[in-house]
Amino acid sequence: MSHTKYLIVGCSHAGLTAMETIRLQDSEGAITMVTREETLPYSPTILPYFIAGQVPQEQIFLRDQAYFDKLNVTLLKGAAVVGADSAAKTIRLASGDEIHYEKLLLATGAGATVPPFPGIENVRYQVVRDLNDALKLRETMNQAKSAIVIGAGLIAMHSAENLAHAGLKVSMVVRRKVSLFAYFDVAAAGLIEKIFEDNGVHIATGSGVAKISPSDGGRCVVTLESGEDLTGDVLLLAAGVRPRIEYLEGSGIETDAGILVDNSMRTSAADIWAAGDVAQAPQFFEPGKTVNATLPNAVTQGRVAGMDMVSDPAFKPYSGSSGLNTFNFFGHHAFSVGLATIAEPTEDIEVNTTLLPSGLRYQKLVFQKDRLVGVSAINAALDPGIMRELIRRQTDLGAIKEKFVSAPLETGRLLMSKLWR
């Protein structure tokens, strides 16, 4: 059995960030990273761009082998973890090998959910979660003329756009009234949907899937609850994600939808941390824990976990999960941070919306008293990172709130320049 001081399972954003954070404090302690992938690490987020042919396969990797060598980190590729024993402090690989650790980080991410749609077992469908999925989709795509995408999140939207760019006729199935409901309010989402429609993507909103059935030539038909039938050569499921926790059965580590962690990313078991899509962590705006399967969140959590694992004196606890993302589509750009979907003002919530449909510009600022709590924007000149930081720090805008509303870019930069110095 091999032994390592730090063992990191999963070699993507959460795992890599934790490793780099540990190395800043402990330049010698043995670090082993295991991934079930046969390749160097890559980000799932890059896959839609890879599918679209925007980047060649040899260019998608986040780090090269020399990087791990230089940091003196052992990278075990093609090594799937199948079991963990928190009492003996070991993990078991599919090969039967065991690794003994002093500190363990679980960063195995999330896989795609396959909802139990009636008839799903009779058709060929695809998901996009890893490189193999992407390679498969590229192949089918090349022989296809049409596609159906089920889902309303960023992955669904990205995939639909890329399929459209590849020349396919794309239909989307969105159960809710609008897409991207986690990030944008109805007005903003409507604007985005219109751009999709203008680019030939048909979006069927407000109706779930009634059944799925095979059709001739390997095609499939998706029948909606509304009665509408959609036919496509390719069926892509992007209806949510599920943390990869199967291998933890019997390990004694507490799980719910994901691995339950506290604000230090510690699990219920001693010397075991979890971070990224696999973790279910405290929230920023409300009590309770949630899985926040986004890239920036995986990095933040990986950093917190790494700092705690190495007892970094600068350690600060995780401030909590909240929505944040950027979205680039058909030449337009959008982003959303915090409580950006609140539509109606309440007693202490103020909502300031600017909509310029002609120029396709949208900007929404949400305040709780004198603090910014949410921003979403489409094609607006704003610095998403500054907005994120103002929200996270709960900066009291006080006297300059009005100025902020009228000139959020300049005022944000000015605040940043003063506060961050």
Ligand X SMILES: Cc1cc2nc3c(=O)[nH]c(=O)nc-3n(C[C@H](O)[C@H](O)[C@H](O)COP(=O)(O)OP(=O)(O)OC[C@H]3O[C@@H](n4cnc5c(N)ncnc54)[C@H](O)[C@@H]3O)c2cc1C
The reply to whether 403 sits near other proteins by the rule CB under 8 A is yes
17 binds other proteins (CB under 8 A): yes
Strand order in the sheet with 279-282: 259-260, 279-282, 289-290
Window 24 to 53, contacts with ligand X (CB under 6 A): 34-37, 43-45, 47-48
Q: Near ligand X by CB under 6 A, which window of 106-114, 228-236, 305-313, 360-368?
A: 106-114
Identify what 10 binds: ligand X, other proteins, none; CB under 5 to 8 Å per kind.
ligand X
Q: Is 287 exposed, middle or buried (0-12, 13-18, 19+ CB in 10 A)?
A: exposed
- Indicate whether 75 belongs to the interface with ligand X (CB under 6 A): no
**Interaction of residue 11 with ligand X, rule CB under 6 A:** yes
Task: Please spell the DSSP secondary structure of 155-207, one letter per residue.
Answer: HHHHHHHHHHHTT-EEEEEESSSSS-TTT--HHHHHHHHHHHHHTTEEEEES-
Contact flag: residue 408 with ligand X (CB under 6 A)? no
Question: Per the structure block, which two tokens stand in for 180?
Answer: 């991207």
Q: How many CB atoms lie within 10 A of CB 62?
A: 14
At 366, which helix (H) or strand (E)? strand 361-368
Residue 121: how many CB atoms within 10 A of its CB? 10
Q: Shortest approach of other proteins to residue 327 CB, angstroms?
A: 8
Map the footprint of other proteins across residues 288-347, applying CB under 8 A: 295-296, 299, 303, 324-326, 328, 331, 333, 335, 337
- Verify binding: residue 125, other proteins, rule CB under 8 A: no
As given in the structure block, the two tokens for residue 135 are 């390679």
DSSP string, 285-321: SSSSEE----HHHHHHHHHHHHHHHTT-TT------B
CB of 79 to other proteins, least distance (A): 22
> CA 331 to CA 336: how far, in whole Å?
17
With residue 354 as reference, give the H or E element that holds it: strand 349-356
Told to check if 388 binds ligand X by CB under 6 A, we report no
User: Interacting stretch for other proteins, rule CB under 8 A, among 75-83, 235-243, 365-373, 386-394?
Assistant: 386-394
- If the CB atoms of residues 40 and 189 are measured against other proteins, the closer one turns out to be 40
Q: Strand 361-368 to strand 349-356: parallel, antiparallel, or no bridges (unpaired)?
A: antiparallel
Residue 15 within binding range of ligand X, rule CB under 6 A: yes
**Contact in structure between 37 and 134 (CB atoms under 8 Å):** no
Q: Is 66 in the site for other proteins (CB under 8 A)?
A: no
| Closest separation in Å from C-beta 382 to ligand X | 18
Q: Residue 266 gets which letter from DSSP?
A: B
Q: List residues binding other proteins (CB under 8 A).
A: 13, 16-17, 20-21, 24, 27, 43-46, 49, 54-55, 59-63, 295-296, 299, 303, 324-326, 328, 331, 333, 335, 337, 379, 381, 383-386, 388-389, 400, 403, 410, 412-414, 416-418, 420
Q: List residues binding ligand X (CB under 6 A).
A: 9-15, 34-37, 43-45, 47-48, 80-81, 107-110, 128-129, 154-155, 158, 244, 247, 276-278, 293-296, 298, 325
